[in-house]
Amino acid sequence: MPTMQDVARHAGVALSTVSYAINGTRPISEETRRRIFAAMDELGYRPNALARGLASKRSRIIALLFPAVKRGMGLTELEFVVSAADAARENGYHLVLWSTEIRDAEELQQLMRQGLVDGVVVMEIHDQDERIDLLRTTDFPFTMIGRCADNAGLNFIDIDFGQTMAIVIAHLVGLGHTHIGFLNHAVDEFEAGYGPAVRAQNRFLETVAANGLHGTMRYCEASPQAGYSAVNELRAADPDLTAVIAMNDRAVPGILRAIADQGLSIPDDFSVVAIVSSARFAEMMTPTITTAEAPAYELGRLGTEMLIRQLEGGNNDISGKLIPCKLVIRESSGESPARRSELSTA
């Protein structure tokens, strides 16, 4: 491996001149720059990342903090990872994965102290999150995909649950549905203050009330079996229910089965909309599912870019950005039975 010293000798200049040429830290004459770059690719030189990081105190490495989630990771999480890695690469950064066991702040602190990374992107945020508290008090650069209860002075990007819920409910209301159910994540996720579980529920209750609709909700574990019983419970609680919004992909197959087992058909008798979901998932179901798709790619990418901008200094305007899910209408949502019979009588 050639070093910067080799390049300098080859180009007949001082080592520091090479450094300035590479980083643009100081003005270099056109002629000198040319010689240096020629020497560089003649030798196949690439600056050593470790040495550069040590000397400059900026490793150009960031970490993606993605804790093990009971719920299990899905396609959305995968997209976070991929898009974060892409965004990092495009900006000349490396992305390391700090995974699973780093749930407690203690372990995170050990990693921070190693001085390997310049900042972290945190996923799967809870309302009260000790990782965020730690990062905050130690002034370690970070951004969040999600947010906690108090986000004053923090950079984050999150799903706009209010907007998402408004769009989805508007869609259903437009189809004549007035009795709508909501299937949330598991109750312990909610109680642990898991952001989406808390916010989606609140927005559901608000929106339903604001529109004078009948709303019913249930928590639901991430499994078809749980979805099966949860939707039956919903229908028992409100016999006039004609539509359900599910923020729980893994429960959806159970919902479909339960409806079919009642001899009802989707979407004629009952509509199903999955929120914070993905096209990949929606198209695997029969019927294909109308979804509000999580902007996973944007979230991962923007969260990362936000962090990098923060690290590159200057642009220090703190911001919280919300992106709504995008509604894609497929086969699982249709006009309410009441509306349909009105039309056929008319």
Partner DNA sequence: GCGTGTAGTCGAAGCGCTTCAACAATATAG
Partner DNA sequence: CTATATTGTTGAAGCGCTTCGACTACACGC
Residue of the chain from 38, 41, 42, 48 that contacts DNA (CB under 7 A): 48
Residue 55 lies near DNA (rule: CB under 7 A): yes
Pick from 102, 96, 142: which is nearest to 120 by CA? 142
Pick from 307, 310, 313: which is nearest to 62 by CA? 307
Residue 120: φ, ψ to 5°: -135, 150
Per partner kind, with CB cut-offs from 5 to 8 A, the member of a copy of itself, DNA, none near residue 170 is none
Residue 120, sorted as left (phi over 0), alpha (psi -120 to 50) or beta, turns out to be: beta
Nearer to DNA, 37 or 190 (CB): 37
Angle, helix 15-23 to helix 30-43, in steps of 10 degrees: 100
SS3 118: coil
Residue of the chain from 9, 32, 205, 327 that contacts DNA (CB under 7 A): 32
Residue of the chain from 10, 19, 121, 161 that contacts DNA (CB under 7 A): 19
Pick from 297, 320, 312: which is nearest to 141 by CA? 312
Contact positions with a copy of itself (CB under 8 A) in 159-218: none
Using the rule CB under 7 A, give the single segment among 46-54, 167-175, 302-310, 338-346 that binds DNA: 46-54
Residue 51 lies near DNA (rule: CB under 7 A): yes
Tokens at 171, concatenated: 């869609």
Amino acid at 271: S
Residue 52 lies near DNA (rule: CB under 7 A): yes
Nearer to a copy of itself, 47 or 193 (CB): 47
Using the rule CB under 7 A, give the single segment among 26-34, 90-98, 127-135, 241-249 that binds DNA: 26-34
Using the rule CB under 7 A, give the single segment among 29-37, 61-69, 216-224, 332-340 that binds DNA: 29-37
Minimum CB distance to DNA, residue 14 (Å)? 3
Q: How many CB atoms lie within 10 A of CB 320?
A: 13
Pick from 101, 96, 100: which is nearest to 120 by CA? 96
Minimum CB distance to a copy of itself, residue 117 (Å)? 9
In angstroms, the CA 309 to CA 62 distance is 12
Using the rule CB under 8 A, give the single segment among 164-172, 179-187, 230-238, 281-289 that binds a copy of itself: 281-289
3-state helix, strand, coil in the chain (%, to 5): 45, 15, 35
CA 301 to chain centre: 9
Tokens at 281, concatenated: 């998932």
Per partner kind, with CB cut-offs from 5 to 8 A, the member of DNA, a copy of itself, none near residue 15 is DNA
In angstroms, the CA 117 to CA 41 distance is 29
Residue of the chain from 9, 37, 47, 163 that contacts DNA (CB under 7 A): 47
Using the rule CB under 7 A, give the single segment among 42-50, 96-104, 190-198, 293-301 that binds DNA: 42-50
Total binding residues for a copy of itself by CB under 8 A? 49
Contact positions with a copy of itself (CB under 8 A) in 93-122: 94-101, 110, 113-116
Residue 59 lies near a copy of itself (rule: CB under 8 A): yes
Is the separation of the CB atoms in 241 and 177 below 8 Å? no
- Sign for the pseudo-dihedral over CA of 235, 237, 240, 243: negative
Question: What residues contact residue 283 under an 8 Å CB cut-off, 6+ apart?
Answer: 330
* β partners of residue 87: none
Q: Which residues bind a copy of itself (CB under 8 A)?
A: 1, 44-51, 53-54, 59, 61, 72-75, 77-78, 81-82, 85-86, 89, 94-101, 110, 113-116, 223-224, 250, 252-253, 256-257, 280, 283-286
Q: Which residues bind DNA (CB under 7 A)?
A: 1, 3-5, 12-17, 19-20, 22-23, 25-33, 45, 47-48, 51-52, 54-57
